[in-house]
């Protein structure tokens, strides 16, 4: 059983105490720093006013980035799999094209 403890993080000039398992503490602090940075970027642009709106825009931007990275990873995995299948098919074709007498040696 993991024990939880309170972690204090600062996001956009506000302090939040969050219960978190000890082994996840550094991940939570990193996530809070990342979110704070994104929210500060949005606030400094001057285009969005109000902490709630800034938070929603930051959440949308972070979600968009995450989904885009997942799509790129899926495409890369699919491309890699296709290359492996193509390589295996070429090997099979090569073996099938060779003289059976040569394969026995």
Q: Kindly state whether residue 104 falls inside one of the protein's structural domains.
A: no
Structural domains of the chain, count = 1
What are 29-43's pLDDT values in tens digits?
Answer: 999 999 999 999 999
CATH number at residue 24: 3.30.160.880
pLDDT at 87: 83
Q: Measured between alpha carbons, how far is 8 from 29 in angstroms, rounded to an integer?
A: 8
Domain of 49, in residue numbers: 4-98
Q: Kindly state whether residue 8 falls inside one of the protein's structural domains.
A: yes
What are 50-79's pLDDT values in tens digits?
Answer: 999 999 999 999 999 999 998 888 877 777
Q: Under 8 Å CB-to-CB from 9, ≥6 apart: which residues?
A: 15, 16, 18, 28, 29, 32, 33, 36
Angle (CA) 34-8-21 rounded to 5° is: 90
Q: Kindly state whether residue 105 falls inside one of the protein's structural domains.
A: no
Distance of CA 33 to the CA centre of its chain: 16
């Amino acid at each position: 059983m993991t024990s939880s403890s309170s972690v204090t993080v600062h996001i956009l000039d506000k302090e939040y105490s969050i219960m978190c398992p000890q082994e996840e503490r550094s991940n939570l602090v990193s996530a809070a720093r990342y979110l704070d940075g994104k929210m500060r970027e949005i606030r400094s642009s001057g285009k969005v006013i109000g902490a709630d709106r800034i938070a929603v825009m930051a959440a949308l931007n972070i979600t968009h980035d995450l989904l885009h990275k997942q799509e790129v990873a899926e495409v890369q995995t699919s491309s890699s799999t296709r290359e492996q299948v193509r390589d295996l098919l070429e090997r099979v074709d090569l073996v099938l094209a060779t003289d059976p007498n040569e394969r026995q040696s």
